[in-house]
Amino acid sequence: MEWIAQELQQKFETTGPLIEVVVDIVPKTIQVKKEAYKPSHYLIIQGSFDPPTSSHINLISKAIYLHSKLYASNKIKVLLLLSLSHVDKRIDVLNRSLLGYRVEMLENLYSSLKIKTPISIGLSNVARYIDLIDAIRQFFPKIEKLSFVMGMDVFKKLLDASYYSKPVEEVLHLIFRANYYIAGRRDVFSKKEFDTFLNKHLHQKYHQYVHFLSLSKSYRFLNATSIREKYSNDQPIQELYTHSTIIKYLKKNNIYRLTPKWIATKIAIHLVVQLTLESGKDQIIAIKILRQLLPEIERKPDLQQQLINDYKSKKTEEISKRWNQLINLIS
């Protein structure tokens, strides 16, 4: 999964906005009709899902219900996109779990929820939603209706002029090629507060493309960061925060451990994939290198700390040197 993600990021430099679907789940209720099921409406929720939270689950369920009411005769598909790019922050390997774990968490979660709507899980190298619309339509050319599900904090960024090279008024027609289902967060949480915000910040003609999702007040300040922090500090994670399936998964895999060995392992996987791609060599080479490198990291605390320090200071001499040694050995 790390290979697919970094390869997608490389393609962004030359090809532009792209998505790539890595998992498709079709519920048993329509499994027999899999080939016949051709959705025309897509509900997309993009995020880091590190881990998926109760608010993510609630958002998806309520968006499916509302969309089904608005467009009763249309076949729907959910697309969960793990975002590799953010408009205002760099993804740091030190503070994130590996992508393979996140895809597996989403797959396990969706299977346990027993939602009757098909789902795809994918990766996106796109930061801005106006670009994401193009990427999704390129991947799914027969889309009739495209709807994004997001929190109020993300919707505010969508209308923020600082993220565009033109005045926001000139890009609104591009933004509203899609519908938006918005859940309240923090300071704008009720329908009344949301309507006030819309009237102040968005021209009336675009209001028809925006729908408010009312969530429980218990989700008002809930985010994935708080779950990661609780887990890394050995604090109990309640089902208020996330689904029991995710809690079991975290206990089994310990993916938010802050031990030097675990952090150094993540750094090694990330950098080996990066170096292998940059050299133009294939995925098999990366696997061979990691098979020799990871056991070495596991048994050497000094190497673990050196990797962490080098990564923090943006120096990767040690891993580059070892990578070259192993390339020569494999050759």
Q: Give residue 83's pLDDT band: very low, low, confident or very high (50, 70, 90).
A: confident
State yes or no: pLDDT of 90 exceeds 70: no
Mark whether 109 and 59 lie in a shared domain.
yes
**pLDDT for the residue 88:** 53
Mark whether 183 and 315 lie in a shared domain.
no
**pLDDT for the residue 73:** 75
Mark whether 201 and 287 lie in a shared domain.
no
Could you give the dihedral angle defined by the CA atoms of residues 256, 260, 265 and 267, in that order, rounded to the nearest 10 degrees? 90
When pLDDT is averaged across residues 11-36 and rounded to a whole number, the result is 76
When pLDDT is averaged across residues 148-176 and rounded to a whole number, the result is 93
Q: CA geometry: angle at 85 spanning 177 and 163, to 5°? A: 55
Query: Which residue would you say has higher pLDDT here, 73 or 202?
Result: 202
**pLDDT for the residue 289:** 93
Mark whether 116 and 212 lie in a shared domain.
yes
**pLDDT for the residue 30:** 64
Which structural domain, as residue segments, surrounds residue 264?
260-330
- Report the domain count for the chain: 2
Q: Give residue 217's pLDDT band: very low, low, confident or very high (50, 70, 90).
A: confident
The region of weakest confidence among 24-33, 114-123, 261-270 is 24-33
State yes or no: pLDDT of 28 exceeds 80: no
3-state helix, strand, coil in the chain (%, to 5): 55, 15, 30
State yes or no: pLDDT of 273 exceeds 60: yes
Domain boundary among 253, 281, 313: 253
Domain boundary among 221, 253, 285: 253
**pLDDT for the residue 93:** 79
Mark whether 124 and 158 lie in a shared domain.
yes
Non-local CB neighbours of 93 within 8 Å, separated by 6+ positions: 266, 267, 270, 311
Mark whether 30 and 67 lie in a shared domain.
yes
Mark whether 276 and 138 lie in a shared domain.
no
**pLDDT for the residue 91:** 62
Q: Give residue 206's pLDDT band: very low, low, confident or very high (50, 70, 90).
A: very high
Q: Give residue 84's pLDDT band: very low, low, confident or very high (50, 70, 90).
A: confident
DSSP E strands in 131-286: the ranges are 145-151, 179-183, 210-213
Mark whether 99 and 194 lie in a shared domain.
yes
Mark whether 53 and 122 lie in a shared domain.
yes
**pLDDT for the residue 86:** 65
When pLDDT is averaged across residues 148-163 and rounded to a whole number, the result is 92
Mark whether 244 and 138 lie in a shared domain.
yes
pLDDT tens, position by position, 166-187: 999 999 999 999 999 998 877 7
Domain boundary among 253, 287, 311: 253
pLDDT tens, position by position, 104-116: 999 999 888 878 8
Is 0.85 topped by the overall pTM? yes
Whether 297 contacts 311, CB under 8 Å: no
| Other C-beta atoms lying within 10 Å of the C-beta of residue 75 | 15
Mark whether 44 and 188 lie in a shared domain.
yes
**pLDDT for the residue 33:** 53
Whether 79 contacts 39, CB under 8 Å: no
Most confident of 130-134, 227-231, 256-260, 318-322: 130-134
Mark whether 119 and 103 lie in a shared domain.
yes
When pLDDT is averaged across residues 141-145 and rounded to a whole number, the result is 89
- Domain containing residue 163: CATH number: 3.40.50.620
- Average of per-residue pLDDT values in the chain: 87
Q: Give residue 9's pLDDT band: very low, low, confident or very high (50, 70, 90).
A: confident
